[in-house]
Amino acid sequence: MAKKTNGNVLWTLMVITGFYLFVAFVFHWPPFRFGRPDKDTFVKYPGFGIDLPKDYAIHGIDVSRYQNRINWKLVAGMKSLDVKLQFAVMKATEGQTFIDKTFKRNWKNSREAGMIRGAYHFSRGDKDAAAQARNFITTVRLMPGDLPPVLDVESLYNTPVPEFQEKVALWLQLVEQHYKVKPIIYSNASFYNQYLHPYFADYPLWVAHYKERHQPRVKRDWLMWQHNEGGRVDGIQAFVDFNVYNGDSLSFRKLLIGGK
């Protein structure tokens, strides 16, 4: 009898386990998302999953290879609490030679979906600034309606501060000469206040500062604010950085390449 009872229990467990595996597969529980994702397998969310700061009309996201394959039509079509995402900034390059593997696809598909797009370079303070500028310039072709180029500056990489600041200045100078538009500097509030202020006050600032309710705490005017890194967006299966633009739609349009 004991053997028969154990057999019945084992059979019951196998049936229950099989049922849950079947449900997980059918409803695309993450470990069971097989193959190349498309519009039918991309996750949809009831909302962005985060609190959005009030009194900002223009919202956007930034992405890189960590968001994997993105369905940009779903991103552009998502609306929650009367908020639609209007722009997306994507990683293009890093250092002297690295190119983000998702950039080419994101760059093309985001524009086709109707998103305003931007590209950023992740700065390495321990690498040659001119070579880093060339890496970005040869990778990114900006068009009318795109955001200005962005330099992401987050670490000294053990470079002496004066040398680091010279490298940042050279990258900005070379990129501005090529695109004929002033680049945007991205950095977190603490790093910017300590290492970049006030030397780059003439450049627009995109600042990351989380857990602030109304605005970032920096010692100058700012253009965009990355306020959260845990947002959810239709068509993206990973968490996403959320941003707001500090201005109205008219000034935003003037910011874009060829904007008037």
**Amino acid 118: pLDDT:** 98
- Is residue 100 among the annotated active site residues? no
pTM of the model: 0.82
Picking from 55-59, 112-116, 162-166, which range would have the lowest pLDDT averaged per residue?
Answer: 55-59
Work out the average pLDDT over 194-202: 95
User: Which residues are within 8 A (CB) of 120 and not within 5 positions of it... i.e. 6 or more apart?
Assistant: 62, 89, 90, 91, 92, 149, 150, 151, 152, 186
Contacts of 10 (CB under 8 A, 6+ apart): none
> In terms of domains, do 16 and 55 share one?
no
Q: What pLDDT sits at residue 49?
A: 92
Phi, psi of 149 (to 5 degrees): -65, 150
In the predicted structure, residue 119 carries a pLDDT above the cut 70:
yes
From the candidates 62, 146, 152, 241, which is the catalytic residue?
62
pLDDT of residue 34: 35
Of the candidates 165, 66, 85, 70, the residue with the CA atom closest to the CA atom of residue 125: 165
Across the range 85-106, mean pLDDT stands at: 98
Average pLDDT over residues 9-30: 54
pLDDT of the residue at 13: 63
Q: Coil, helix or strand for 74?
A: helix
Note whether 123 and 191 are same-domain residues. Answer: yes
Assign 46 a pLDDT band (cuts: 50, 70, 90): confident
Measured between alpha carbons, how far is 193 from 200 in angstroms, rounded to an integer?
11
In a domain, 36, yes or no: no
Residue 147 has pLDDT above 90, yes or no: yes
Regarding whether 126 and 70 lie in a shared domain, the answer is yes
- C-alpha Rg value of the chain to the nearest Å: 22
User: Looking at the structure, do residues 6 and 90 belong to the same domain, yes or no?
Assistant: no
Question: Is residue 82 annotated as a catalytic residue, yes or no?
Answer: no
**pLDDT of res. 252:** 97
Q: How many CB atoms lie within 10 A of CB 98?
A: 17
Q: C-alpha distances in angstroms, 251 versus 57, 58, 164?
A: 12, 11, 32
Is 230 or 212 the better-scoring residue by pLDDT? Answer: 230
Q: For residue 208, list its beta bridge partners.
A: 188, 226
- Among 6-15, 69-78, 156-165, 196-205, which is the least confidently predicted range? 6-15
238 and 194 co-located in one domain = yes
Which structural domain, as residue segments, surrounds residue 235? 42-255
Looking at 128, 154, 166, 176, which residue is catalytic? 154
d(CA 256, CA 235): 25
**Is residue 242 domain-resident?**
yes
Q: What band does 219 get if pLDDT is binned at 50, 70 and 90? A: confident
Written as six digits, the tokens of 244 are 């707001």
Q: Which has more confidence, 114 or 9?
A: 114
Average confidence score pLDDT of the chain: 88
Residue predicted with more confidence, 154 or 41: 154
Residue 37 lies in a domain: no
Query: pLDDT tier at 214 (50, 70, 90 boundaries)?
Result: confident
71 and 97 in a common domain: yes
